[in-house]
Amino acid sequence: MEALHLTAGARGSSRLVDTDEDRHELLEKVERALAPTVLAYCLMDTHIHVVVEGSPAYAPDALQAAMVAYTRLQNRHRGRATRALRGHVEFTRKVDACELARAIRYVHDNPLKTQAPLSPIEHPFSSQRAFSGLSYHGLAAVPRALALVGPHARWAAGDPPPPLADLEPVPVPTVRPPLILAAAAQTYGLPTSHLPGPGRSPALCAARGVFVRLGVLEAYDREQLAPFLGRSRSQTSRLAEFAPDQAVRMARTLIRDPGLCRRLLRSVPQASPSDARQPCI
């Protein structure tokens, strides 16, 4: 086994990311550079941790190239140099299953160290949810990671997640459609703004289907849901075919669990805590 714990970040006390759009943009570049070797990751405001299976002759340079591409794009968008990296990517080798398990757990526990601590599962920009069965985001090769850590798999996976929500319909809406849309997007690690767009990737189609199926369970009809996807009623109805039951239960869990829902609300523009339990008529 040859695995590495990579770390990269912004210079000094500056931020690496400001918005969820920035976070998705950086993770997309990391995925292009390092997939399918990524075993675990966690993106914080000032830095990123990535655990990969691979050689120090390749992986650090690949992550460095992704970071440089991200900062250049960010600076071009802003018309000035507001992003700067602190130096070359740092790495440590993990030579056995125990060391690798410790690295994965350490990476996932980073949100606990912030000024307003989050449990690892509440932070959507890490692979913790994928390890916990609450996300289908495919950046981290979770089965491969668990196979490599062997007897330490349960510890590396972190604390047990909340039980998945049911698929029972409710008589009246309990949450607004924008929150359902955000939950569907987070289930697949996608920006919420991409769901109404023209993209047709398998993950996008599945996330849209989750939104439709969960919206119907939450007592909305397809005509009410269609505008949130920018599609007709008939198109919206067909999207439900792409949503597996497990993904719908994951998305509903994000809405129903208090800690997960609080973080979800931050991704919904102009949302307030009351939106988590306020019907949209």
Q: What would the pLDDT profile of 143-189 be if each residue is shown by its tens digit?
A: 999 999 999 999 999 999 999 999 999 999 999 999 999 999 999 99
**pLDDT over 50 at 110, yes or no:** yes
**pLDDT over 70 at 279, yes or no:** no
Q: Please, which residues bridge with residue 8 across strands?
A: 48
Q: Average the pLDDT over 25-41 and give the result.
A: 97
Q: Which residues are CB-contacts of 154 (< 8 A; sequence separation ≥ 6)?
A: none
Q: How confident is the model at residue 137 (pLDDT cuts 50, 70, 90)?
A: very high
* 3-156 is classed CATH 3.30.70.1290: yes
Q: Where in the chain is the domain with CATH 3.30.70.1290?
A: 3-156
Q: How confident is the model at residue 80 (pLDDT cuts 50, 70, 90)?
A: low
Tokens of 89: 């990517």
With a pLDDT cut of 90, the percent of the chain lying above it is 84
Question: Tokens 């609080």 appear where?
Answer: 262
CB 108 within 8 A of CB 3: no
Q: Please, which residues bridge with residue 7 across strands?
A: 49, 90
* pLDDT tens digit sequence for 10-29: 998 789 999 999 999 999 99
Right CATH number for 177-277 from 1.10.1750.10, 3.40.50.300, 3.40.1280.10, 3.50.50.60? 1.10.1750.10
**Residue 228, φ and ψ in degrees, nearest 5:** -75, -15
Q: Average the pLDDT over 69-91 and give the result.
A: 86
What is the pTM for the complete model shown? 0.92
Residue 78: predicted pLDDT: 74
Closest-CA residue to 86 (of 71, 96, 98, 76): 71
**What is the DSSP secondary structure assignment for residue 165, as one 8-state letter?**
P
For residue 93, the surrounding DSSP H or E stretch is strand 90-94
Classified as helix, coil or strand, 4 is strand
How far CA 219 is from CA of 180, 181, 222, 264, in Å, comes to 12, 15, 10, 20
How far CA 279 is from CA of 60, 100, 171, 177, 256, in Å, comes to 48, 45, 11, 9, 14
For residue 253, the surrounding DSSP H or E stretch is helix 245-256
How far CA 117 is from CA of 51, 113, 126, in Å, comes to 22, 6, 15
Q: Average the pLDDT over 133-152 and give the result.
A: 97
Classified as helix, coil or strand, 228 is helix
For residue 53, the surrounding DSSP H or E stretch is strand 47-53
Closest-CA residue to 98 (of 52, 58, 144, 156): 156
> What count of Cα atoms within 13 Å lies in the side-chain half-sphere of residue 10?
20
Q: Where in the chain is the domain with CATH 1.10.1750.10?
A: 177-277
Tokens of 69: 């591409």
**pLDDT over 60 at 59, yes or no:** yes
Q: Average the pLDDT over 93-105 and give the result.
A: 97
Least confident of 68-77, 117-126, 252-261: 68-77
